[in-house]
Every structure is written in C-alpha cells, then in structure tokens.
Homo-oligomer: A and B are copies of this chain.
Amino acid sequence: MISIIKKEQLDTRRKNDQDTERERRIVQSIIKQIRQEGDAALFRLTKELDKADLVTLKVSEEEIDEAMGKVEPAFLEALHEAARRISAYHEKQKQNSWFSPEPDGTILGQLIRPLERVGVYVPGGKAAYPSSVLMNVLPAKVAGVPERVMVTPPLPDGTVYAPTLAAARIAGVTSIYKVGGAQAVAALAYGTESIPPVDKIVGPGNVYVALAKQAVYGQVDIDSIAGPSEIVVIADDSANPVYVAADLLSQAEHDPMASAVLITPSPDLAEKVAKEVELQCNRLERREIAAESIRRHGAICVVDDLAEAFAAANQLAPEHLELAIEEPWQWLGKVKHAGAVFLGNFSPEPIGDYFAGPNNVLPTNGTARFFSPLGVDQFVKKTSLISYSREALCRDGKKVMTLARAEGLTAHAASIRVRLDHAKEGEQKGGSKRANR
C-alpha cells in the first residue's frame, strides 16, 4: 500500500493550482449581489445554496444555550481545557508597543494594536470542526480584537450544528451569522444591514470561499489559503513502528490529497511501518480516504543517515514534522522549514491539532519556507512613531535634504528647509515666544 522509495524519488514539486475560472465568475457575481442588495441577497442565496429559508441571520444567545445543552459534557469539558491551553500559549505571543526616547530629544517607536473587527469563516454542517473554531478565534481574542464575528452556513432546517455553536461560545465569538459561501465572505468584507464589515477574514472553506477571500483581499486582510494536510515523520530505529504508522494515517484520513511521508535511515523500521500502515488502515472508519491518500501521496523514504533525512524534510518544508528519533533535541537545530515540529514519542501530531496550545492553522504546500502558523501576530497591526526634536532636525536636516534632492523630490527637501530657515531666524531674533513653532 505504501511505497518504499529512494530520496531522489521524493516529490518536492509544488502542487499547481487547478483552473477555477468558472468558480471565479460565480464568486464575482455573488460579491456583486451582496454589495448591491445586502441582506436581501444573503437571504436569497442562503435559500438557494444552503436550502435554508431563514427568518433572521443572527444566531441568538438562546440558540447557543440550547446547543450547549445538546452536546456531551465530556466534549464540553475537553473543549474548555483545549481553549485554556490554546489561550495560554497564544498569550506568550503578545508584544507590547515599544518606544525609545533618546537624549537628543527624538523618540522613535512602534504601536502594536489589535485589529478592530475580525470575521471567522466556519464550514457548515457535520463537516464542521469545533477545533477550527477555537484555533481561528482564540488568537484574535488573546490579541485583544474586540469584535469577533463568525459566519457559518446553516443546515436546511435553519439551525447550526450544536458542537460548532458550543465551540463558538467557549472561544469567545461575539456574534454569529448563519451565512456561508462566497456571500458570507462578501458580507464580511463590505458589510450589509445586519453584518458589520470587518478588517480581516480568516478560516477554512471550500473553493468558493477561497476564491471570494482572494477577491476581497485589499478591501480586508485574509489568511493564507490552506492546502491539503501534510506530515513528514523522521524516525530512527528507536521509534515505535506502531506509533509511526498511526501518525501517518492520522493525516491520511483527512483527504485523498493529504500526504504522509516517513523518512528513515532504518530499512528495518521502514518495513515494519509499511506493514503497520496496511494493518491499521484496514481498521479505520475512514479507510477509503486514508488508503487513497497513502497510495497517491504516501511514501516511506529510506536514506543513508539522519543528516540526509533532515535535508530531505527541509526540501519538503512540511506542514507537520515529527521527530521520532533517539535525540530529537540534538537534531532540532537542523530543521529549517516546517509549520510545526513534534518531538519525541509522546507528541503525536493530533495533540497539536486539538489541544497542546500552538495553532493548528499551519503553512502547507511548501510555504513553510516563508509562512508561519496562525497566531496573535496576524490579528494586530503596527504603526510607526516618529517624534523629532528641533535639535535633532537641525543636526540631521541637511543630510535628509541631500537624500531627497538626490531623488529629485525637492518638495520633500523644502519641508525640511522651511524649518531650518525658521530655526535660524529664531536664533537671530533671540528666540520666539512659542519655543516649538
């Protein structure tokens, strides 16, 4: 089922975007309808596309109370604990505004403030992932974003899947609207009578949601479009093949396009894991999906040594990287590109998906070379601060004018010069009453 291959056969090519011209045109039409007709278009499209004939778009507190009552207490308890851990981790990402007053009277700095309003897209129905609600909303809450708006398509009976509402309450969503698809993205970007426009839209969705986000980018900020899940496990012969196989399959079960790769210098481990993957896969509920993923994008790559293994993993730049080796901390510094690294035998990747604390929204498709996990940083914006003193401007003004003139921007130079001239005048006249004019 899972091929054992050489390093040269590892597929590090980026997956190309498919042609989405037809979907793009549909999305443009939907955006136009929302901009022109607001709520009316939302009701109409929700009826047409989600088959839900809504009376109101907003989810009430009572609906959420009801949902909390419907879900298993053990599930709620686990959600609460996960939310606590995720918040505690993201708290450590917070940065203060800083500034630097100097003896020459200058003050430079940087204000770091949360966005005002964020929209989180949550896919609907039973394919909804409560963990996704926590992971997309909690960093915004920790960052201090005061308004956290969730959109999610309703079921045909007009309700929202209860676990999704429960997760929303626990994560601290401030308002929820029963709309999905490109129309929800457009409503968040431009605003309607009911839905306030936001500054940033995050959260996974189907191709229409992804294209809509790209279309509104610039009007609002968006997150990166997530690709299929990826795991790379680097393992030596200290690893437990049962564990390794289980971890590979935990990603493969996501999607036939997901990829699960083992890289190991141990041919013995390679064979054992290959057998375990086949064995365990047949026991899975989602065995068809997992099996297809393993067949199409799974691999066990035998290399000469760990150094080669790390070189290969860096080429792949995986979303998730597990180090199931004897001395993971000694080798950690060799990891160049990965969304998240899991060290040792008791850090199965799903612990990161649900619970440990770090975000599960991670760069895919080789973008770990330059993208980062979702975090507090994505929910703040920075403003530079410059306060120059008269003394400092008199000292530096000529140099600034030299640079401006070199670029032909003489009005830039003039804005310095009028102040230098005035300061000179002030000195000649013995200083003016308004010292800082």
Which residues of A does B touch, CB under 8 Å? 14, 17, 72, 74-75, 77-79, 81-82, 89, 92-93, 95, 98, 100, 106-108, 110-111, 113, 115-116, 126, 129-131, 163, 199-200, 218-221, 225, 238, 240, 242-243, 246-247, 249-250, 252-254, 280, 283-286, 290, 328, 332, 335-359, 362-363, 365, 367-373, 375, 377, 381-390, 392-393, 396, 399-400, 402-404, 406-416, 418-419, 422, 434, 436-437
Contacts and interface: CB of A to CB of B under 8 A. Distances in A.
A406 B75 contact: yes
A419 B348 contact: yes
A394 to B, nearest CB: 9
Contact of A404 (B219, B354, B371, B385): B354
A129 B412 CA distance: 13
11 contacts: A92-B98, A218-B367, A220-B370, A240-B422, A253-B409, A253-B411, A337-B381, A340-B385, A345-B437, A350-B415, A377-B377
Contact of A79 (B348, B403, B419): B403
A415 B384 contact: no
Contact of A386 (B220, B246, B358, B410): B358
Nearest to A342: B386
Given A81-B399, A375-B382, A418-B246, A286 B388 contact: no
A385 B89 contact: no
B400 A354 contact: yes
B106 A386 contact: no
Most buried by B among A218, A338, A411: A411
Contacts of A353: 404, 412
A415 B371 CA distance: 27
A89 to B, nearest CB: 6
Given A399-B82, A409-B254, A388 B347 contact: yes
B384 A341 contact: yes
Given A411-B253, A419-B348, A93 B110 contact: yes
Contact of A163 (B78, B199, B406, B434): B406
A335 B284 CA distance: 55
B388 A356 contact: yes
Contacts of A357: 108, 386
A108 B81 contact: no
